[in-house]
Amino acid sequence: MSDSYSLLILPGDGIGPEVMAEVVKVIDWFGANRGMSFDIQHGLVGGSSYDAHGTPLTDETMAKAQSVDAVLLGAVGGTQYDSLDFSVKPERGLLRLRKEMDLYANLRPAQCFDALADFSSLKREVVAGLDILIVRELTSGVYFGEPRGIHSDDNNPDNEGGRVGINTQRYTSGEIRRVARSAFELARRRSNRVCSMEKANVMESGILWREEVQWVHDNEYPDVELSHMYADNGAMQLVRKPRQFDVIVTDNLFGDLLSDAAAMLTGSLGMLPSASLGAPMANGRPKALYEPVHGSAPDIAGQGKANPIACILSFAMALRYSFDQGDAAAELERAVERVLADGARTADLMGPEGGTPLSTSEMGDRIVAALSQG
């Protein structure tokens, strides 16, 4: 019996369609060789959708995204859209997807491929073999909390400039519990360890965070090893001894910073995948959007220079987290590891020693060939 999965593919703008074409080769390979069947729909998002429909995301595409097992997105944006009104900018399409699908858990792996360890800003012996997963709360916290704004502070004569800027860190217990559950579920598929980061020493929302994560652990995931760490210490530990971690769960603001810092432990932007997960659907699979961390790279778009690996590894995450195909995900990650070990490099991965870089489609072909060689 074959396993059937529904996918919505949204290539987007710039290098998005170029890297997505390589992902489609990989999907076809798994369909032909691993007894999976994919029901694939295609759609537009970002500037390409604006050009065709006058909006960065149509209601029809939004409805499709809500109905499939997983959405795979390339990237949105481009200089030709810079002058558009804010309400129809390409980014609004992506933001609408994240918001209406209520994707509250943002997964950012930091995985060091041995062949690229010298790209890290840290020493090889500190990062070799690194494989951690940062789970960032994505839909609440200080980026959304009320009150917010810039106000005049007129009745405070001691305030030079007379203004005050306000943002509010606000978390409900329910928001913390649901992202904590995501982290514990993910840890069970990995090394079964979660480290929760906040600043409970100086923030009440941090105290609540720590208590609620502990509550979910004690009541629902006592088998997972849980530790707590102040986020500033977490930042130090990430660059000092990153391999001590498995899954890190943290709030929106700390997660924004920590995931970007962790990403640079492993090298190039062209290598970094991500996933955003929401609540489980009726079939038990979470609402899910997979996308590379990088943007539409207008500086290299249309030239066949883009590295497709970030987008291909995002599909590996879909195999693991939406389709429960952990073995297939690992198989794909090993194929990437192997072509890199063989010296395959797109331009962004070329060291000072130089050489001739592979094109986007050559890199995709190499990865498919490595899959076939087993």
Q: Which residue of the set 118, 232, 327, 342 is catalytic?
A: 232
* Residue closer to Mg ion (CB basis): 18 or 256: 256
- Our finding on whether 138 is near ligand NAI (CB under 6 A) is no
Nearest 5°: the CA angle 322, 363, 373 is: 75
Binding piece for ligand NAI, criterion CB under 6 A, among 33-41, 212-220, 238-246, 287-295: 287-295
Residue with tokens 């105290």: 207
| Token pair belonging to 157 | 């004569």
- Our finding on whether 71 is near ligand NAI (CB under 6 A) is no
Q: Pick one of 294, 320, 338, 366: the residue that binds ligand NAI (CB under 6 A).
A: 294
**Partner from ligand NAI, Mg ion, none binding residue 256, C-beta < 5-8 Å depending on class:** Mg ion
153 in active site? no
**Partner from Mg ion, ligand NAI, none binding residue 252, C-beta < 5-8 Å depending on class:** none
- Our finding on whether 297 is near ligand NAI (CB under 6 A) is yes
Q: How far apart are CA 44 and CA 59, in angstroms?
A: 11
Element at 12 (helix H, strand E): strand 3-12
Q: How far apart are CA 120 and CA 126, in angstroms?
A: 10
Residue count at the site for ligand NAI (CB under 6 A)?
22
Long-range contacts of 55-59, Cβ-Cβ distance < 8 Å, separation of 24 or more: 55/88, 55/93, 56/88, 56/89, 56/90, 56/91, 56/92, 56/93, 56/94, 56/96, 57/92, 57/93, 57/96, 57/97
Q: How far apart are CA 288 and CA 117, in angstroms?
A: 30
* Residue closer to ligand NAI (CB basis): 304 or 326: 304
* Residue closer to Mg ion (CB basis): 198 or 256: 256
Restricted to residues 247-306, the positions that interact with Mg ion (CB under 5 A) are: 256, 260
Amino acid 248 reads I
Q: Pick one of 49, 106, 111, 307: the residue that binds ligand NAI (CB under 6 A).
A: 307
143 in active site? yes
* Residue closer to ligand NAI (CB basis): 8 or 231: 8
The torsion of the CA quartet 307, 308, 313, 317, rounded to 10 degrees, works out to 140
Binding piece for ligand NAI, criterion CB under 6 A, among 130-138, 212-220, 290-298, 328-336: 290-298
Tell which residue, 60, 4, 19, has the closest CA to residue 270. 19
Where is the binding site for substrate, in residues?
Answer: 98, 108, 136, 232
In the complex, the residues that contact ligand NAI under the rule CB under 6 A are 15, 19, 75-78, 91, 94, 269-270, 291, 294-300, 306-307, 310, 348
